[in-house]
């Protein structure tokens, strides 16, 4: 009985393996599901990620591991309430081989749950939710961007140690990304002897900042740390300056506050210090080539989101090459990605065991239309991956 069952299992496994490699050899297209915000405050971020991803694929002659790509797109509207239904359109209806998404941490957590349950490959090209490469980490889940903790911890250290600030307030949208970034800032700031006196929030994606700005003006902390991104970041930075606060209370942020936004923020953003794994004037040859190619292809200046999309495709290529295009071979795919060094526009990075980039975090200062590097806040910073059992 046992041997009969074992034989059947072995045969089934062999048939499964054959079907997998047959996909690759028959030249069947690789189905890539892009689940990104194509409406709302994060629209520009979704578009930049898609641009970056497609730029990398085009540089490979339109194929990855010999397979042409077929794209399936879903607008997730940055709405966690619709996330499970949206990701299942890609998993169950379109039967994609890999999902690339998304920007919003709340949506990404639902995607990670669905990817884990269905054992679908997921590459997260932005959302920093600490849980995705923490308690929810999995062999089939990868991130090409950052963890929320990673983006903001160093800013706290710099604000206390270098900028000599003693007290700070934080302001953000009340959801995972904002909470995790402002808490990471607090962790770094207080470790160096500073004190976060108050953490204020408003619901995502509201942009009625006035009451909170009035509260900051009255409290007069030495500094403010903010996380906002996309359209919301443009409005926040302009409102902060319009209230005159940029003259009295220095504003710091994770780099999303000023990335892909400077054209619209103009004078209001000048001089703002932020931390991020990318900047506009890196002395990285790969970056020079990337920026030229991106600007030529899309008639747009690249930003961190374009880089993350580009590197999501790069991670996919490395994994697929190792399994000759057969996405069924998840452990071999993961092993190749874990061993690789990625030649990214941000500089070289590797993947941690929890599948989050181990990368330099730059200190940047807004100067004209650029986030210019003024130092390295943390060298080869790894996310602590609290709760990951990979």
Query: Among residues 287, 323, 348, 62, which one has the least CA distance to residue 340?
Result: 348
Instruction: Work out whether 256 is an interface residue with ligand PHB (CB under 6 A).
Output: yes
Instruction: Work out whether 361 is an interface residue with ligand PHB (CB under 6 A).
Output: no
Q: Which is nearer to ligand PHB, 30 or 361 (CB)?
A: 361
Q: Which is nearer to ligand PHB, 129 or 354 (CB)?
A: 129
Stretch that binds ligand PHB, among 127-135, 208-216, 328-336, 339-347 (CB under 6 A): 127-135
Instruction: Work out whether 131 is an interface residue with ligand PHB (CB under 6 A).
Output: no
Q: Which is nearer to ligand PHB, 97 or 179 (CB)?
A: 179
Tell me if residue 228 falls in helix, strand or coil. Answer: coil
How is residue 209 annotated by DSSP? -
For 183, 310, 356, the CA distances from 380, given in Å and listed in that order, are: 21, 20, 12
Instruction: Work out whether 128 is an interface residue with ligand PHB (CB under 6 A).
Output: yes
What is the C-alpha separation between 202 and 217, in angstroms, rounded?
A: 17
| Interacting residues with ligand PHB between 168 and 187 (CB under 6 A) | 177
| Interacting residues with ligand PHB between 293 and 352 (CB under 6 A) | none
| Interacting residues with ligand PHB between 217 and 236 (CB under 6 A) | 229
CB of 153: closest distance to ligand PHB in angstroms?
15
Q: Which listed residue (48, 87, 127, 223) binds ligand PHB by CB under 6 A?
A: 127
What is the C-alpha separation between 188 and 363, in angstroms, rounded?
A: 14
137 neighbors 384 (Cβ within 8 angstroms): no
Q: Which is nearer to ligand PHB, 225 or 256 (CB)?
A: 256
DSSP secondary structure of 60-83: TTTEETTEEEEEEEEE-TT-GGGH
DSSP secondary structure of 355-380: S-EEEEEEEEEEETTEEEEEEEEEEE
CB of 50: closest distance to ligand PHB in angstroms?
15
Q: Which is nearer to ligand PHB, 154 or 325 (CB)?
A: 154
How is residue 255 annotated by DSSP? G
| Interacting residues with ligand PHB between 80 and 119 (CB under 6 A) | 103-105
E strand or H helix at 252, and its extent?
Answer: strand 251-254
Q: Which is nearer to ligand PHB, 104 or 165 (CB)?
A: 104
CB of 128: closest distance to ligand PHB in angstroms?
4
Q: Which is nearer to ligand PHB, 177 or 361 (CB)?
A: 177
DSSP secondary structure of 95-164: --SEEE--S-HHHHHHHHHHHHHHT-EEEESS---GGGGTTT--TTEEESS--HHHHHHHHHHHHHHTS-
The residues that touch ligand PHB, with contacts defined as CB under 6 A, are 103-105, 126-129, 177, 229, 256
């Amino acid at each position: 009985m046992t041997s009969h069952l074992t034989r059947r299992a072995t045969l089934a496994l062999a048939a499964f393996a054959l079907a997998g490699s047959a996909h690759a050899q028959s030249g069947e297209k690789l189905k890539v599901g892009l689940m990104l915000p194509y409406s709302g405050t994060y629209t520009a971020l979704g578009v930049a990620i898609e641009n970056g991803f497609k730029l990398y694929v085009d540089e490979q002659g339109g194929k990855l591991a010999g397979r042409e790509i077929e794209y399936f797109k879903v607008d997730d509207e940055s709405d966690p309430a619709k996330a499970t239904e949206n990701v299942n359109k890609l998993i169950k209806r379109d039967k994609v081989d890999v999902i690339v998404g998304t920007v919003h941490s709340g949506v990404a957590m639902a995607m990670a749950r669905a990817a884990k349950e269905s054992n679908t490959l997921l590459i997260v090209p932005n959302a920093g939710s600490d849980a995705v490469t923490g308690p929810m980490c999995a062999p089939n889940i990868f991130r090409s961007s950052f963890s929320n903790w990673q983006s903001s911890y160093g800013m706290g250290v710099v604000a206390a140690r270098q900028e000599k600030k003693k007290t700070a307030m934080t302001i953000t949208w009340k959801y995972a990304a904002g909470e995790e970034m402002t808490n990471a800032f607090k962790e770094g700031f207080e470790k160096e002897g500073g004190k976060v006196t108050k953490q204020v929030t408003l619901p995502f994606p509201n942009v009625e900042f006035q009451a909170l700005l009035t509260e900051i003006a009255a409290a007069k902390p030495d500094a403010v740390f903010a996380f906002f991104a996309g359209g919301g970041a443009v409005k926040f930075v302009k409102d902060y300056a319009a209230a005159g606060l940029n003259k009295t209370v220095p504003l710091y942020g994770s780099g999303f506050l000023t990335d892909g936004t400077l054209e619209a923020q103009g004078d209001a953003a000048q001089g703002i210090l932020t931390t991020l794994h990318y900047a506009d004037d890196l002395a990285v040859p790969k970056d020079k080539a990337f920026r030229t190619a991106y600007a030529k292809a899309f008639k747009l200046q690249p930003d961190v989101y374009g880089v993350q999309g580009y590197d999501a495709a790069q991670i996919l290529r490395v994994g697929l090459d190792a399994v000759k295009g057969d996405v069924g071979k998840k452990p071999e795919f993961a092993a190749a990605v874990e061993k690789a060094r990625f030649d990214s526009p941000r500089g070289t990075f590797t993947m941690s065991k929890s599948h989050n980039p181990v990368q330099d975090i730059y200190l940047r200062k807004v100067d004209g239309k650029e986030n210019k590097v003024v130092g390295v806040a943390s060298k080869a910073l790894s996310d602590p991956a609290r709760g990951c059992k990979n």
